[in-house]
């Protein structure tokens, strides 16, 4: 699975969370999943952060 696929997964997960009443917590959840799976790190090998925005 490529980095763009994982970004798509995180975006779908974010949309799902917002549809199901989790808008107040979904961004921190996405940041945690992103960090644990190193999605942004894979797309940004220099180690620059995306601020949790995917």
Cα torsion angle, 49, 47, 26, 2, sign: positive
Q: 10-14: long-range contacts (C-beta < 8 A, 24 or more apart)?
A: 10/34, 10/39, 10/54, 11/54, 14/54
**What does the pLDDT read at residue 40?**
78
Provide the token pair at 21.
């009443």
pLDDT value, residue 30: 92
Walk along the chain (54 residues) and give the pLDDT tens digit of each residue: 566 788 888 999 999 999 999 989 999 999 999 888 888 776 665 544 455 554
């Amino acid at each position: 699975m490529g980095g763009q696929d994982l970004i798509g997964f995180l975006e779908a997960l974010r949309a799902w969370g917002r549809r199901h009443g989790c808008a107040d917590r979904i961004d921190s959840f996405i940041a945690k999943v992103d960090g644990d799976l190193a999605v942004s790190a894979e797309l940004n090998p220099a180690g620059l952060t995306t601020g949790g925005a995917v």
